[in-house]
């Protein structure tokens, strides 16, 4: 049986660990999926913020004319363009070129005004229109190879981005303000790369324990200007996305583990109960054997005429017979009462009992083993009267005194005290015995439980204290115990009156 329980214990532990491992692996996969989904959404939000910021910059630099500055005679405007050229050879190659021309003009000269004259908005617009028509030769130009663009639209957009960057530069503060409004925290750095970058580059988490989304977004492709945006992901922000699956998994896992633990605990309890019952049967046979052997010896002696002829011997044999029968009757009464499912089923004959006189009877009936000296002090007041079943109360006190003698050293001291308060009688039986360990103290009232005593002496059936508690509760009372190993034990019985 022990081997089977040990095997079951190992199998249960392995099953729990295997289940937890499988669930952890599944949850890891589910978390990684949720994390990837969260990062894709975060990347899309960052791209949206950059697009919004670029749109704001484009609007700010929409006019092709630099801001008119009062007091200056010359102003500039830019004209973007791109062209296609083809080279014929073994293969047809197409080269796309983007250009941005810079023109300079004098608004005052075009309008026929004196230099330094302040210009109205209407005059500025008129000067711009005249400049576009009349200015022919650019003062400067920027030329870029835009062949890397996938189509003309992308090349045209890249060309405009150069103009936008010149008039309204891309700044860390600007994109930070847009992302902050969107609830995104990120680290932004601006860099110029050697080659043109035409598309966004995204790198998702390298580690699930410290996830982050890294993006390289070009904001002026032809100039190689890029924004590197790194947004770190808080793992707790990912958990709501896997909430239902996580809750169900935790509930099922806890339920299964609890079931396995309860199953194993039940098996252990049944095994312990089986041991107790086997020990009880063995001990009961031993306990019943003694009075039966005494009766057998007395009956044999009654058949010897020479022994029965003596009056003193006959009285002694009859006393031994009566004592053996009383012991048998006590054992059977105890077994009968212990089988009741409800304390209310135990019959009681309640009457007034002088507690001091009753304990004197218990002390007189105590069996003192050879080799022990027992001192029983009755400190109960002579006027202390209790309403109880005399026979059952006698058995309660007798069991406690027997245990005190049984589980003490050679010099035994037993003290009985009683007090009455609030219609309750409190009886205390203390001794100087070996005491009860804290581990056994929780189980001493359990049926068949005998602690370490089951492995050897002193003998007993493990029913004494169960019987005491049962009879006490049948009276509507309670019993408690306090003990210290090596110092002794004190039982306290409270009976309502």
Query: What does the pLDDT look like over 75-87, one tens digit per residue?
Result: 555 555 555 554 5
Handedness of CA 389, 392, 398, 403 (dihedral sign): negative
Quick count: other Cβ atoms within 10 Å of Cβ 388? 27
Q: Give 419 or 19, the one with higher predicted confidence.
A: 419
CA dist 30 to 35, 236, 241, Å?
8, 14, 10
Residue in the block written with tokens 């902050």 = 180
Whether the CB-CB separation of 403 and 490 falls below 8 Å is answered with no
Across 97-123, average pLDDT: 79
Per-residue pLDDT of 279-308, as tens digits, reads: 667 666 766 777 788 788 888 888 787 777
How far apart CA 47 and CA 37 sit, in angstroms, is 16
Total residues belonging to the chain? 497
Per-residue pLDDT of 346-387, as tens digits, reads: 778 899 999 999 999 999 888 888 888 999 999 999 889 999
Residue closest to 379 by CA, chosen among 360, 398, 395: 360
How far apart CA 214 and CA 191 sit, in angstroms, is 14
Instruction: Give the pLDDT band (50/70/90) at residue 321.
Output: confident
**What's the pLDDT score for residue 68?**
54
Q: For 367, which DSSP code?
A: P
Alpha helices in 303-353 (DSSP H): 305-308, 311-338
**What's the pLDDT score for residue 64?**
45
How far apart CA 67 and CA 64 sit, in angstroms, is 9
**What's the pLDDT score for residue 454?**
41
Per-residue pLDDT of 239-267, as tens digits, reads: 777 777 778 878 888 888 888 788 878 87
**What's the pLDDT score for residue 329?**
79
**What's the pLDDT score for residue 343?**
57
CA dist 42 to 207, 210, 233, 235, 470, Å?
17, 15, 9, 13, 70
**What's the pLDDT score for residue 357?**
93
Helix axes 243-302, 2-60, angle to 10 degrees: 170
Q: For 239, which DSSP code?
A: G
pLDDT at residue 342 is higher than 70: no
Phi and psi at residue 352, to the nearest 5°: -80, 130
Instruction: Give the pLDDT band (50/70/90) at residue 337.
Output: low
pLDDT at residue 470 is higher than 70: yes
How far apart CA 207 and CA 186 sit, in angstroms, is 18
CATH 3.40.190.10 fits domain 343-497: no
């Amino acid at each position: 049986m022990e081997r089977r329980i040990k095997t079951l214990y190992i199998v249960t532990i392995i099953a729990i660990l295997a289940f937890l491992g499988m669930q952890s692996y599944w949850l890891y996969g589910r978390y990684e999926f949720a994390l990837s989904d969260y990062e894709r959404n975060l990347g899309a939000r960052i791209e949206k913020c950059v697009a919004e910021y670029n749109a704001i910059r484009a609007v700010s630099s929409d006019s092709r004319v630099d801001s008119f500055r009062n007091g200056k005679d010359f102003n500039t405007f830019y004209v973007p363009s791109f062209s296609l050229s083809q080279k014929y050879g073994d293969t047809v190659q197409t080269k796309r070129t983007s250009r941005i021309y810079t023109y300079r003009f004098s608004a005052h000269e075009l309008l026929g005004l004196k230099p330094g004259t302040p210009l109205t908005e209407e005059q500025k617009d008129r000067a711009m229109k005249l400049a576009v028509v009349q200015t022919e030769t650019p003062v400067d130009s920027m030329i870029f190879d835009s062949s890397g663009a996938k189509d003309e639209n992308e090349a045209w957009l890249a060309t405009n981005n150069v103009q936008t960057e010149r008039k309204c530069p891309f700044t860390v503060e600007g994109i930070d303000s847009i992302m902050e409004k969107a609830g995104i925290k990120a680290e932004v750095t601006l860099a110029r790369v050697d080659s043109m970058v035409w598309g966004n580059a995204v790198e998702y988490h390298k580690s699930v324990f410290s996830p982050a989304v890294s993006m390289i977004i070009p904001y002026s492709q032809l100039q190689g200007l890029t924004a590197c945006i790194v947004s770190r992901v808080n793992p707790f922000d990912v958990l709501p996305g896997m909430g239902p699956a996580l809750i169900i998994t935790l509930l099922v896992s806890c339920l299964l583990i609890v079931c396995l633990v309860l199953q194993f605990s039940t098996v252990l309890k049944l095994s312990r109960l089986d041991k107790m019952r086997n020990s009880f049967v063995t001990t009961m046979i031993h306990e019943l054997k003694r009075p039966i052997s005494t009766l057998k010896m007395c009956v044999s002696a009654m058949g010897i005429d020479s022994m029965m002829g003596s009056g003193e011997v006959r009285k002694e044999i009859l006393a031994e017979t009566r004592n053996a029968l009383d012991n048998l009757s006590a054992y059977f009464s105890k077994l009968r009462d212990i089988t009741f499912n409800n304390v209310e089923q135990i019959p009681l004959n309640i009457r007034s009992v002088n507690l001091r006189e009753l304990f004197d009877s218990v002390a007189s009936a105590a069996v003192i083993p050879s080799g022990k000296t027992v001192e029983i002090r009755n400190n109960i007041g002579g006027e202390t009267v209790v309403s109880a079943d005399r026979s059952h109360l006698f058995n309660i006190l007798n069991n406690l005194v027997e245990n005190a003698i049984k589980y003490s050293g050679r010099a035994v001291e037993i003290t009985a005290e009683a007090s009455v308060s609030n219609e309750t009688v409190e009886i205390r039986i203390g001794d100087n015995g070996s005491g009860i360990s804290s581990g056994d103290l929780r189980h001493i009232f359990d049926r068949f439980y005998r602690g370490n005593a089951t492995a050897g002496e002193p003998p007993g059936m493990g029913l004494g204290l169960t019987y005491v508690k049962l009879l006490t509760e049948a009276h509507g009372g309670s019993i408690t115990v306090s003990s210290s190993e090596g110092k002794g034990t004190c039982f306290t019985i409270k009976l309502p009156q």
